[in-house]
A and B are shown apart, each in its own frame.
Chain A
Amino acid sequence: SQQGEEDPQALSIQEGENATMNCSYKTSINNLQWYRQNSGRGLVHLILIRSNEREKHSGRLRVTLDTSKKSSSLLITASRAADTASYFCATDPSGANSKLTFGKGITLSVRP
């Protein structure tokens, strides 16, 4: 069962611009994670934000979490061509036996 829904489905920007990607979910969560997938490869973990956190930074990445709106955003600043990839949010629903559920992903293209 998929809980996270990313928006937009595809995004095309110029190198140097910022990219903002959104994720909405339905049930309460313990944490929310963002992953990147380069074409035809496995996913790479980018950042994890816990339900009691509102914002987190990692290098050029900034993630926010609004549990009242059940939404998160991933901001990539000063984008580079190498940021071209698919980005997935994954939610960890509250509950003892929960597992991560992944959204369908956002395709980001950064034009040189």
Chain B
Amino acid sequence: DVKVTQSSRYLVKRTGEKVFLECVQDMDHENMFWYRQDPGLGLRLIYFSYDVKMKEKGDIPEGYSVSREKKERFSLILESASTNQTSMYLCATVAGGPRYEQYFGPGTRLTVT
């Protein structure tokens, strides 16, 4: 079974703080994704990575950056957290191309106060 873990289930940060969300997968998948999920808006893609040190912007990259130094780890960075970044953050990974079945982590519910 594919296992995707995220560093925290719940996180509370203050406005202006730098926030790191980490995602680790154990299946040697090349493609990894970060989404945010908000009520009424569904899942929106922030960034994705198709290989180590490779990244591409998704639909809503503003205010975020990512890092992929090792194949199994994909980090999402909020450079200066703002209240409108309060959300559920979901990491996913996929074998093969980015269009196939995605495996999701449990999610991190981030609150920025």
The stretch among A64-72, A77-85, A95-103 that forms the contact with chain B is A95-103
| Inter-subunit contact A45/B102 (CB<8 Å) | yes
How far does the alpha carbon of A26 sit from the alpha carbon of B40 in the complex, in Å?
19
How far does the alpha carbon of A53 sit from the alpha carbon of B30 in the complex, in Å?
27
| Inter-subunit contact B105/A104 (CB<8 Å) | no
| Inter-subunit contact B101/A40 (CB<8 Å) | no
Interface size bracket, B side: 20 to 34
| Inter-subunit contact A45/B103 (CB<8 Å) | yes
The B interface is mostly helix, strand or loop, or mixed, namely strand
Q: Closest CB-CB distance, A26 to chain B, in whole Å? A: 15
What residues of chain B lie closer than 8 Å to A102, measured between beta carbons?
Answer: 35, 42-43
In-complex Cβ contact of A100 among B90, B102, B109 (8 A): B102
| Inter-subunit contact A99/B48 (CB<8 Å) | yes
Is residue B4 contacting chain A, with contact meaning CB distance below 8 A? yes
Interface size bracket, A side: 20 to 34
Contact with A along B39-67 (1 / 0, CB 8 A): 01111110010000000001100000000
Q: Closest CB-CB distance, A99 to chain B, in whole Å? A: 5
Query: Are A1 and B59 also in contact (CB < 8 A) when A43-B90, A104-B40 are?
Result: yes
Chain A residue nearest to B10 in the complex (CB): A40
In-complex Cβ contact of A103 among B35, B42, B48 (8 A): B42
What residues of chain A lie closer than 8 Å to B99, measured between beta carbons?
Answer: 30-31, 92, 98-100
Q: Interface residues, chain A, CB within 8 Å of chain B? A: 1-2, 30-31, 33, 35, 40-45, 48, 88, 90, 92, 98-105
Q: Which 8 A-B pairs have the closest CB atoms?
A: A42-B104, A104-B42, A92-B99, A102-B43, A43-B104, A45-B101, A42-B106, A99-B98
